[in-house]
Amino acid sequence: MNNRYFRTSFILAYLLFFMLNRHYMLYSYNPENEKLTQFAVLLDRAVKGEASYVSVVNDVIHQTHQFAAGEKTLYDINRDLTNIILLLSEADKDYFEHLADNPEKYDQQTYQRVLSLITPNQTTTV
């Protein structure tokens, strides 16, 4: 059976090639990877002080903290964020486990740190 997600649009690949060239050269069309890229954009905006994205970013970081600290399980975390939370938690479980439980305490430094974890995780498959 065909799965639409496998179809790589030429234009998409072409543009992504240029868009993402800071980190890697080629890119496979993969919704979870793309979601991560989109989250990285939010983080970058938050690092740059864009207040309107802070609550969304804080929610992801806070749920990752709860997962890493064992307060939430694979079954309780937001379904849309499952893979991002697991990836972040795997990237630095200790960091998220000991992060403040109050999202209001997250700041630019937190966002910068999370952003730095994401970049190497956006691995490339050709």
Partner 1 sequence: MQPKLLELHFSQLQTEWVTSKYNNYSDDRKNIYHEKLATIIEGLGKEDFASLDDSQIQERYWVIFFVFKSLEFLNHSTRSTIPFEMVYVLEVALKEWSPGDDYIIVTSLTNGMNEFSFDGSLSFYPFIYTYIENLYSVSFDYKLVQINLPESTSRDYLANVVLYHELGHFIEKKFAITRVIYAELLAAIRRADPAELNNIYRYFPYLRLPAKVDEFEKRYEEYNQLSMHISEYFCDLFASQYIKDCSNFYLEYVTLNQAVESTTHPSTINRIIFINEYLDNKGGFVLSEYKRIVERITGIEIGYKGKDFSTANFESLIPVEVKELSELHGLFHYGWKVWLGEWENIRQKAEIQFTLSNADVYAIINNLIEKSIGNFIVKNEWELIKV
By CB under 8 A, the count of residues binding partner 1 is 44
- Tell me the C-alpha distance between 53 and 41, whole Å: 10
**DSSP H helical segments within the chain, as ranges?**
10-19, 31-47, 54-68, 82-91, 93-97, 108-121
**Under the criterion CB under 8 A, does residue 13 sit at the interface with partner 1?**
no
- Tell me the C-alpha distance between 62 and 49, whole Å: 19
Ramachandran region, residue 93 (left: φ > 0; alpha: ψ -120 to 50; beta: rest): alpha
Q: How far is the CB of 58 from partner 1 (least distance, A)?
A: 13
The closest alpha carbon to 47, from 104, 112, 113, belongs to: 112
- Exactly one of 12, 23, 24, 122 binds partner 1 (CB under 8 A); which one? 12
Q: How far is the CB of 45 from partner 1 (least distance, A)?
A: 6
- Exactly one of 33, 66, 89, 110 binds partner 1 (CB under 8 A); which one? 33
**Under the criterion CB under 8 A, does residue 32 sit at the interface with partner 1?**
yes
Task: Point out which residues bind partner 1 (CB under 8 A).
Answer: 1-6, 11-12, 15, 18-22, 28, 30-35, 37-42, 44-45, 48, 50, 52-53, 56, 74-75, 79-83, 86, 123, 125
